[in-house]
């Protein structure tokens, strides 16, 4: 009886026994490689969405928080409480739209 348990333990340690309750990890499919023309089109779409999101953000802030000030971050106006928050909000909007800008 002892040897059966010993053999099961050895098989488990060596990976011989699989646990059926453990699902296999799913792999995300890799995104399709875009052609240079498609990349340009995709970037333009992202830029348009970013500028639209920025405009909506600024309008909401003007209405909800009338005492907030307008700051310039990466050459674009954004409404926030402080410069630190303006940079944070701008980075958040850029991250959501998968774009980046080089600081001047």
Residue spans of the domains in the chain: they are: 33-104
- Please report which helix (H) or strand (E) contains residue 3, including its range: helix 2-14
pLDDT-derived band at 2, boundaries 50, 70, 90: low
Q: What is the pLDDT of residue 21?
A: 64
* Confidence (pTM): 0.66
Residue 22's region, left for phi above 0, alpha for psi from -120 to 50, else beta, is beta
Residue 74 contacts by C-beta under 8 Å, 6 or more apart in sequence? 90, 101, 103, 104
pLDDT in tens, 20-57: 566 677 888 887 888 889 899 999 999 999 999 999 99
Percent of the chain with pLDDT over 70: 84
Q: Is 3 exposed, middle or buried (0-12, 13-18, 19+ CB in 10 A)?
A: exposed
Could you count the other beta carbons within 10 Å of the beta carbon of residue 42?
12
């Amino acid at each position: 009886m002892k040897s059966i348990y010993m053999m099961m333990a050895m098989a488990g340690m060596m990976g011989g026994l699989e646990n059926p309750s453990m699902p296999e990890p799913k792999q995300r499919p890799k995104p399709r490689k875009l052609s240079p023309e498609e990349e340009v089109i995709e970037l333009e779409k992202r830029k348009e969405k970013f500028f639209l999101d920025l405009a909506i953000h600024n309008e909401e802030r003007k209405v909800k928080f009338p005492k907030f000030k307008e700051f310039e971050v990466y050459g674009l106006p954004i409404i926030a409480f402080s410069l630190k928050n303006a940079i944070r909000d701008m980075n958040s909007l850029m991250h959501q739209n998968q774009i980046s800008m080089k600081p001047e």
